[in-house]
Structure 1
Amino acid sequence: MNTDILSAITFEAASTTEHFEQIIALQNQNLYKSLSSHQQEQQGFVFAEHTLDLLQTMATQIPQVIALHQGKVIGYNLAMTAAMETELPSLEPMFREFHKAEYKGRVLTDYQFFVGGQVCVDKDFRGLGLLSKLYNASAGLVGSAYELCVTEIAVRNTKSLAIHQKMGFEVVSTHNDGLEDWNVVAWDIRNR
C-alpha cells in the first residue's frame, strides 16, 4: 500500500458544483452500461445514474462523502435518507425491500438508517481501502442520528459484495426488481 498516496487523500462532504460534477464524471466511467461484462466482473460497477440537481438535493439532507487527491474527486459514497424513497425511480424496489428485510429480528425500517452507496473509487486508486474509509467517513459525519447503513448490491457484482462483507456489511435479503437480482446488505454503524 502506498502510504504517500494515502496520506495525500482527504475525505469531506461534497459541497461545490465542481465536486458534484466530478462525482457524475466518475459515476459515468463506472456505469454498468459503460463497461464490458469482463470489466464489470473484474472491477465492479455502479447502476444508478444521478443528476447534478439530485446530488445537490441529497446533500441538503445527508453528507455526500468524497475522497480527494490533489483536488480531484477519486471516490465517493452517495447517501440517501429514507425520506428520499421516491427521488430515484430505479431505487424504489430497493426501498420496498427495506420494508420487508430483517436485520437481527427487526425489519430494516424499524431502525434509524441511511442508504449508503452508491460507492465508487477511481480505478487508479483501488486496492487502498478507500471503500471502507468512505463508508466510515459517512458514518462519522452522520454521527449518532443513525443506527444502520443499508444498501443493495447486484448479486452478479461479486467484487463489490466481497468488499462490503469484508468491512462488516451482512446480507439480510435477496430480491429481484424485475431486471436484476439484488442482495440487501446492512452495516451496524454503532459497532464500527
Structure 2
Amino acid sequence: MEFILKAASTPQEFEQILDLQRQNLYTLLSKEDQEKQGFVFAEHTMELLQTLALDLPQIVAVHDEKVVGYNLAMTASMKEVLPSITPMFNAFETCIFNNKPLTDYQYIVGGQVCVDKDFRGHGLLSRLYSETKNQVSIAYEACVTEISTRNIRSLKVHQRLGFEVIGTYHDGVEQWNIVAWDFKRV
C-alpha cells in the first residue's frame, strides 16, 4: 500500500484531519473500542489547525487522495493561545529528560497523532513521526507530548517508537503520562 507523507496545506486536507479526529474522539467511542483501538482527546477547529500550520508542518499520510493519518505539532508559544493546555506546559516545567530539565531543550509538542483504523498495521504512526522529525529537527531537539494513562495502546506504541515516560500529572479531569522523544537518538 502506498502513502504520501507531507505537510497538510489545503482546506480539504485540514477538513479530512478533522473528520478523522471526530471518528476517533474518546467521547464518541465505547470503552471497549478505546481500549482496543486507542483514542484522541482534543477536538480541534479548522482555525486552530491553520494556526498550528503557520509555525510547524502538520504531517499527513495520504492514500488515494484521502488523509488516513496525521501528526499535529505545536510550539511552546501555543501555551499563550490555548489556556486549556496550560496544565500540560506547567507539568513540562517539572520534567527531567536525559538528566537535564526539559525546558533546556528546544522541543516541539506532539499535538495529536492518529491513524485511520482501516490503515493501522502499516507503520504509519512511525512514519508520521519520522516525517515530522525530518522536517523540524534542524531547529528542534525533541518531541514531547502527553498521553492519557487510560490510553495504554497509545503509550505502548509511543514507547516502541522511542518515546520515554518522563513524568505524570493530573489536570483536574484526566491523569496524563508525559513522554519525550530525543531526535538525536535513532
Aligned with 1:144: secondary structure?
A: coil
* Structure 2 alignment gaps of length 5 or more: none
Mapped contact 2:170–2:176 kept (Cα < 8 A)? yes
Matched residue type, 1:173: G
Matches of 1:117 and 1:42 in 2, distance apart?
22
Matches of 1:38 and 1:24 in 2, distance apart?
23
Mapped contact 1:48–1:90 kept (Cα < 8 A)? no
Q: Which residue of 1 aligns with 2:110?
A: 116
Name which of 34, 38, 47 aligns with 1:40. Answer: 34
Q: Please report how far the alpha carbon of residue 117 of structure 1 lies from its aligned counterpart in structure 2 after TM superposition.
A: 3.6
1:20-45 per-position Cα deviation (integer Å, ceiling 9, x unaligned): 00000000000000100000000000
Q: Does 2:165 correspond to 1:174?
A: no
Q: Please report how far the alpha carbon of residue 90 of structure 1 lies from its aligned counterpart in structure 2 after TM superposition.
A: 2.9
Mapped contact 1:173–1:183 kept (Cα < 8 A)? yes
Q: Which residue of 1 aligns with 2:138?
A: 144
How many residue pairs align between the two structures? 186
1:117-155 per-position Cα deviation (integer Å, ceiling 9, x unaligned): 400000000111111100000000113211010000000
1:2-56 per-position Cα deviation (integer Å, ceiling 9, x unaligned): xxx1xx1110000011110000000000000010000000000001111100100
Matches of 2:82 and 2:60 in 1, distance apart?
20
Q: Which residue of 1 aligns with 2:21?
A: 27
Report the more deviating stretch, 48-57 or 97-106. 97-106
Matches of 1:104 and 1:139 in 2, distance apart?
18
Q: Which residue of 2 aligns with 1:92?
A: 86
Q: TM-score, normalised by structure 1?
A: 0.94
Q: Does 2:57 correspond to 1:63?
A: yes
* Structure 1 alignment gaps of length 5 or more: none
Q: Does 2:149 correspond to 1:155?
A: yes
Mapped contact 1:30–1:46 kept (Cα < 8 A)? yes
The percentage of counterpart residues that share the same residue type is 58
Matched residue type, 1:142: V
Q: Please report how far the alpha carbon of residue 109 of structure 1 lies from its aligned counterpart in structure 2 after TM superposition.
A: 1.3
1:148-175 per-position Cα deviation (integer Å, ceiling 9, x unaligned): 1000000010000000000100000011
Matches of 1:109 and 1:66 in 2, distance apart?
28
